Amino acid sequence: MDKKKVRDYMTYDVISVDLHGTAQDVIEKIQKTKHDGFPVVDGDVVVGYIAARDLLFVKPTETIEQVMSGHLIVADPDMDITDAARVIFRSGIQKLPVVNEKNHLLGIISNSDVIRSQIEHVSPEKVFNFMTTLKKLYGVDPTLNRGIVPVSELLPTQSKVYEDELEGRIYEIKKGLAEPIIVVKRPGKTILVDGHHRAIAAKRLGITALDAYIIEINENVELGMERTAAAMNLKTLDDVQVLDYARHPLVAITHRLVKRD
């Protein structure tokens, strides 16, 4: 399956404000739309962003150009939604304007759009496809259950995770939006297949057990992912390296120098 892109989840019918308007124009638009901020455009080109907080202690007659933020992060529609999630949750912003190569406004992607995409990651199809792979590779007959697994018993199979994506998973868990992890359970082992960020986020929050799709194998057969984990010296979640996020090439920063009185 293709990776999910920003274009699959962004809002195309985005409300913007004109660079040459006033603070009063923005106040009226906030009251009318109930939105808390808007991309600022000069023609079709995104040049800034103005939020309700930017209007504090500002005279209604001041221009948008004087009070807007001219330094903002924008996203490309072909950016992976997971990378957009990292940027949004790392920076603490709520919305990313989506632009084309000429910086023309195409839409907007919000933190709620990101959450909606992320909780769709695990599907029965994904689980059953993995079970079919196990049957073919090892000649086993796995069964599927839904249940709770202890976080401390999870054997990781991924050597690194991203710090900023952990922040997103922590947010989801606190809001009750986290999807189940996928594990393979065989005699003496609970192998984490999918959900490393969720598992480590749960551990940070002091959560001792997680909802999971549990693929059970009665046969005592060592899986290839176990051998890979051993080669990377992975025994517990504490062995997984947490990395800071390196800026994605499809994330850009626009900057407009604004002359202030």
Domain assignment present for residue 56? The answer is: yes
Domain assignment present for residue 257? The answer is: no
pLDDT in tens, 180-213: 899 999 998 999 999 999 999 999 999 999 999 9
CB contact burial 60-82 (16+ within 10 A = b; e otherwise): eeeebbebbbeebbbbbbebebb
CB 162 within 8 Å of CB 243: yes
Domain that holds residue 62: 6-117
75 and 126 fall within a common domain: no
145 and 43 fall within a common domain: no
Domain assignment present for residue 229? The answer is: yes
92 and 146 fall within a common domain: no
Domain assignment present for residue 195? The answer is: yes
The more confident residue out of 258 and 112 is 112
Q: What is the pTM of this model?
A: 0.55
Of 35-49, 146-160, 242-256, the one with minimum mean pLDDT is 242-256
Across 152-197, the runs of DSSP E, i.e. the strands, are 154-155, 160-162, 181-186, 189-194
**Average pLDDT of the chain, as a whole number:** 86
Q: How many domains does the chain have?
A: 2
Percent with pLDDT over 70 in the chain: 89
DSSP state of 159: S
Domain boundary among 117, 142, 162: 117
Domain assignment present for residue 256? The answer is: no
CATH number, domain containing residue 69? 3.10.580.10
103 and 125 fall within a common domain: no
Domain boundary among 74, 91, 117: 117
170 and 187 fall within a common domain: yes
Q: CB-based contacts of 219: which residues, under 8 Å, 6+ apart? A: 138, 140, 186
Domain assignment present for residue 20? The answer is: yes
Residue 256 has pLDDT above 70, yes or no: no
202 and 221 fall within a common domain: yes
Domain assignment present for residue 160? The answer is: yes
86 and 153 fall within a common domain: no
Q: Is 20 helix (H, G, I), strand (E, B) or coil?
A: coil
Distance CA 185, CA 190 (A): 5
Domain assignment present for residue 251? The answer is: no
Tokens 């080669």, residue?
231
86 and 130 fall within a common domain: no
132 and 236 fall within a common domain: yes
Q: How confident is the model at residue 177 (pLDDT cuts 50, 70, 90)?
A: confident
182 and 207 fall within a common domain: yes
pLDDT in tens, 88-133: 877 777 788 999 999 999 999 988 777 666 655 556 677 888 899 9
Residue 61 has pLDDT above 70, yes or no: yes
Residue 246 has pLDDT above 90, yes or no: no
Distance CA 36, CA 124 (A): 37
Residue 248 has pLDDT above 50, yes or no: no
102 and 13 fall within a common domain: yes
pLDDT in tens, 129-158: 889 999 999 999 999 999 999 999 999 999
CATH number, domain containing residue 225? 3.90.1530.10
Domain boundary among 77, 96, 117: 117
113 and 128 fall within a common domain: no
